[in-house]
Amino acid sequence: METETKHDLIMKYIQDLETGSRISVRQTAKTLNVSEGTAYRAIKDAEAQGFVSTVERVGTIRIEKKQKPSIEKLTFDSVVKMVDGQVLGGRGGLSKSLHHFVIGAMEIDAMKRYIGTDDLMIAGNREAVHRCALNSGAAVLITGGFEASEKIRSLADQLELPVISTSYDTFTVAAKINRAIYDQMIKKEIVHVSDILIPLSKTRFLFSADPLTRWEELNRTTTHGRFPVVDSKMKVVGIVTMKDVIGHQETDRIRDVMTSDPLTVTPGTSVAAAAHRMIWEGIECLPVVDHDHSLLIGIITRRDVLKALQMVQQQPQMGETIDDLVSANLTDESDEDHDVFRFAVTPQMTDYLGFLSYGVMTALVTVVGRRVLNRIKKGDLVVDNLSFYFFKPVQLEQNVTVRPKVLERTRRNGKLDMELFADGQLAGKALLTAQFIDRF
């Protein structure tokens, strides 16, 4: 039987266990007649996939795999928190997703056609409307601080549809929910290392006691020459690259040439953070370790990270972020000799005093910096540092001119000096440095 087949056999064995069952490497290896190393790799793979968890003082147990919630949906439970509400009935349905909200400001016969399953009916002290909504499959949000009758509470419990009471008025509640739905539409799903990692069963790694000839064997079968090093307990203790191996004898051990205490990431690390770390250090792969014991569970490569970042950028996005707002209002008036960008301050960009907010100014400088540096080299980049000096406030409806100047550019880095003028007067200066993401 091949190792891959054994791995699949162990994975199926783990998935068939009842939720809450304890799992040990030794017992799994004995039950399935496989080596403890093969059992360990499969258990770590199962943990990375989310149906096994290691609990302190309890051990490794089988758990129910949690599905990622949809980022485009609000739950009734989130509505309760949003409106400082009190749940009067139907608590069993709080985890359901809200599809639409309907304001009950018309006659019951007229509103029936607008109510759907898992909608939210917003109404005041109108029991007939509450009953109609529940029977149509919708939850109820009672505004003005009114209570619900015992009959409505009982019906809500029976149907597992929440009935919520809030002291806010209908207009305020509708505005809050509308804003939350809009914000959810803007969000993009955050991709984590766990979504792209190469599992342990497919990871090439070295033991610290291995001879250098083992590195040469792995190097011939992979596209990168960087391998994590583990001890006998699978704890990551180092990393080995071609630079470490050159000049050493084949009889030397990996522990004699490896770089100790390497950079690692955990499954919960965002891909964006991992990408920044890899770019900053100039490395092409990172070991992925568990949260508690620094045990190896896989690796991520720069190629996979770049693919994930491109996927995030291509996700459909509705609604405007601050960067979108700045980009839409930014006019490029550059010529062959000078880069010049112009920008008009709109009400959405101001603070409570009516001045252009510092956050929008920072976004403005970043957007301009990206555009200028992308002319030098196409592709993604990461802003490393931004120093901003504010000389005078910029007011509503003033016209801002940004004059960027490239101070330094290399294959991997770019540095810009920028001056911001408000109606011709110097309002601020900024120094921005960034790193380009090389594609492999």
Question: Is the pLDDT score of 302 beyond 90?
Answer: no
Question: Is the pLDDT score of 313 beyond 70?
Answer: no
CA distance 119 to 135: 12
- 398 against 54, higher pLDDT: 398
The answer to whether the 74-186 and 322-436 domains have the same CATH topology is no
Q: Which CATH superfamily is domain 189-316 in?
A: CBS-domain (3.10.580.10)
Question: If you average pLDDT over residues 160-187, what whole number do you get?
Answer: 80
Tokens coding 316:
């459909």
DSSP of 324-341? HHHHHHEEE---SS---E
Q: Name the CATH topology of 74-186.
A: 3.40.1390
**In the chain, where the domains are located:** 74-186, 189-316, 322-436
Say what the pLDDT of residue 72 is.
47
For residue 296, give every residue at least 6 positions away whose Cβ sits within 8 Å of its Cβ, in sequence order, or none.
44, 200, 203, 205, 228, 230, 234, 235, 236, 287, 288, 289
Tokens coding 44:
């770590």
What is the tens place of the pLDDT at every residue in 181-220? 666 655 555 678 888 888 888 888 999 999 988 888 888 8
CA distance 429 to 419: 5
What is the tens place of the pLDDT at every residue in 61-86? 887 765 544 444 678 888 898 888 99
Strand order in the sheet with 120-123: 86-89, 163-165, 139-142, 120-123, 101-103
Say what the pLDDT of residue 165 is.
93
Question: If you average pLDDT over residues 351-366, what whole number do you get?
Answer: 86
Say what the pLDDT of residue 281 is.
77
In CATH, 322-436 is 3.10.129.10: yes
- 413's enclosing H/E stretch is strand 413-422
CA distance 281 to 421: 36
CA atoms within 13 A on the CB side of 35: 7
| pLDDT above 70 coverage of the chain, percent | 90
Average pLDDT, the chain: 83
* Phi-psi label, residue 101: left if phi above 0, alpha if psi -120 to 50, beta otherwise: beta
Say what the pLDDT of residue 75 is.
85
